[in-house]
Structures are given as C-alpha cells and as structure tokens.
Amino acid sequence: MPHEGLLSPRYDHRGLAGVLPGVAASLGVATCEHADAVPMAPARRAVVVLVDGLGYELLRRRGGHAPFLRSLLPAAYRITAGFPSTTATSMGTFGTGLPPGSHGLLGYEVLVPGEDRLVNELSWEDGPDPFSWQPEPTVFEVAQAAGVEVTRVGPAFFAASGLTNAALRGGRFRSAGPLADRVDATLAALRASRRTLVYLYWGDLDKVGHVHGCQSWEWGEELSSIDGELARLVASVPADTAVYITADHGMVDAPHALRIDLAHDTELAAGIRHVGGEPRALQLYCEEGAVDDVLAVWRERIGERAWIRTRDEAVAAGWFGPVSAANLPRIGDVIVAMRQNFAIVDSRRARPQLLALLGLHGSLTADEAAVPLLQVPARAGG
C-alpha cells in the first residue's frame, strides 16, 4: 500500500538510471537502447548537465529565479533519483544506469563488510579500491568503447577521486573552476569532435542550500546565476547538439530545533554499533541480537516522523532496487527515512560543520527524491 508522502524510487529507464543510457542510445550506442526509455531524439553530439541539488519541486517553486530553466519545465520529465537521495548513491545510479543495490554505492556513509567500520562514499577517505567496490562498467566507458568521444567537465579534485573512479569513470576529464569556465570547456569539447558526449557537473547550488537553506535568497541567487550560464550554453552549442539538464537529488530545510541528537538520547542510541547514512536517511548497524529492540524503540519514539524499515523490508519494498548478495551487507540493519523536515544527528562523530548545515536530503519525500530531466533537442539532424 502506498504511503502518503513517500515517493517510491523508480529504477527503470524512466528514472535517473535511464538518463545516460538514453543519451548514449541517442548518439547511436546500440547496447544502451531500451524500449521503455524517456524519448530522446537522435543527435550527433550531446551535453548532460547535472546540477547538484536541483530538485524538481524546488525548481518548480523557485522558478522565478530561473526564467530559462522554467521555460523548459512544460516539456520536462519528473524522474526519481532513488534512495537514499544523496550524491554518492545518485552518481552511482546516474553513471552506471543501475540501481543502488546493483552498483553498491548505497549511502553517504555505509559499512565496509568484514572491517567493522564505515566508509564515506562522498569523500572516499580511507575508502576501499573504487574499481572493486563498484566493478560494473559505466555508461561513459560503454559509450567511449562504441566510438563516442566522452569528456567529463568538473573541478580538478574530482578527476581521480574515489567516487569518480567508482561511478563516473570513462573518457577524459577536463578541469575547470567557475561555471562560466566549465561552460567554455564544454563548448570546446563539443567543437573538437563530430560525435561526442560531454558531461558537465556543477555543485554550488547544493553547497549554498546546505549552508543557507534551499528557501534562502542565497539559493535563489545561485539558481539565477546557473540559469544564465545554462542559457548561454544552449545558445552556443553546435546545431547538431542535444542538451539535457538533470540533478542528483533535491533538498529540504531541516531546522535545528526539530532535530534529535543521538549523543543526548540514550534510549534511541542503545543497541547501535554504527550510525551510517545521514541525518535524513539513517542506516543503523546494530549490535548482535539488538535489531528487534532497536526497531521497536525507534518505531515507538519516531514512527510518525519517519518511515522505518528493516533491511529486508526496505529491500522487499524496492528502495534500493534489486540488491546483489555482495552488496546486501553494506545496508544497515534498520533504515530510517525522515518525513517532512525532521532529522536525527549524532554529534559524537559528526563534524561541527556538518551539524551546522540547514538544508539536508537523503529521504524519500518528493522534495528530495524527485529531480527534473530538461531537454533541448538538437536543431539539426543527427
């Protein structure tokens, strides 16, 4: 039975998992063609822009700051990013075309099986080998092998990061700083090849939302800046180029006064060995034999403010898509996905900078999990 307010993840080729395969198919990569994909007209060249944190509902509500992007909304697709609605997981889904249970990037912080420790899949600090942690081929690798020139444009520190190597490897990487420079690098890459796929990443909207909130004037100003540069990009691409704009997740503002800190709540903290995930999408790794007690206490205490599932229940509900046997132990024993603007933090281990953030994401609300797929078709045949 559907739950009010819960946006069930979609991992077929009409969700975020279908964006890159669909674009690759439009460029003639036959192995990426799927009958149920979002329609994408054939083109010689394509650009896929991913704006970190640009949720569909946020764009719809705050479109006054983005006249160009707003003009694309009537023909846009409202797609689901998946669960948890967080950058590391969504990049895995976006880059491989697979659900989290298959690519294995299952949250912001997840358990490393057999090592009794968490790994941060965003920073990848002291993380496992990314090529073995996520061994499936990426769409960039498949497209490059099919003769498409692939270029990825982003900040220099992303070039060989653990997350990039796990989820977004393939083709060449061009580093650039400000968004205007990344647009210029994208245009140069397009003009350098007759059959090309360029991926452009921009992360500052997410940063501004985390610090100031996604309802802030600062968020609106950043969206306005992005809107201007993306309008310039579309106006400047070669005529045979299609442009696609999407995102990895949305965001909600979670006031500090409404949060619970596990450092000061011994009842909720009892029986938990590791607190993984993030404040809007916790993954609780329990002490041996403690799962039932943890589940009972959490459902009694916060069951009206969160969707609480055991690992098996979440998997059966399709939250992660099909889960491989190798990836199953990475998922918490108990999954807690927050409703409305509630959050739970743990100041015993979270850095003060993270505790101070106002805008958060990770859960299954529409504000977090629904993202846009905006399309500007090529002006000339492919």
Helices first, then strands: H and E counts in the chain: 16, 17
pLDDT in tens, 279-300: 999 999 999 999 999 999 999 9
Burial of 325 per CB tally in 10 Å (0-12, 13-18, 19+): exposed
With a cut of 60, say whether residue 2 has pLDDT above it. Answer: no
- Mapping DSSP to helix (H, G, I), strand (E, B) and coil, where does residue 151 land? strand
pLDDT of residue 4: 61
Confidence of residue 73 (pLDDT cuts 50, 70, 90): very high
Confidence of residue 34 (pLDDT cuts 50, 70, 90): confident
pLDDT of residue 3: 53
The pTM assigned to this predicted structure is: 0.97
Which residues 6+ apart lie within 8 Å of 207 measured at CB? none
Which of 106, 102, 210, 200 has the alpha carbon at shortest distance from 150?
A: 200
| Stronger pLDDT, 214 or 37, i.e. the higher one | 214
DSSP state of 152: E
Q: Helices 217-236 and 204-212: crossing angle, nearest 10°?
A: 170
Residues 363 and 3: their CA atoms lie apart, in Å, by 13
Confidence of residue 324 (pLDDT cuts 50, 70, 90): very high
User: Can you list the domains of the chain with their CATH numbers?
Assistant: 16-252+365-376 (3.40.720.10), 256-360 (3.30.1360.180)
187's tokens: 């245009």
Residue 321 Ramachandran class (φ > 0 left, ψ -120 to 50 alpha, else beta): left
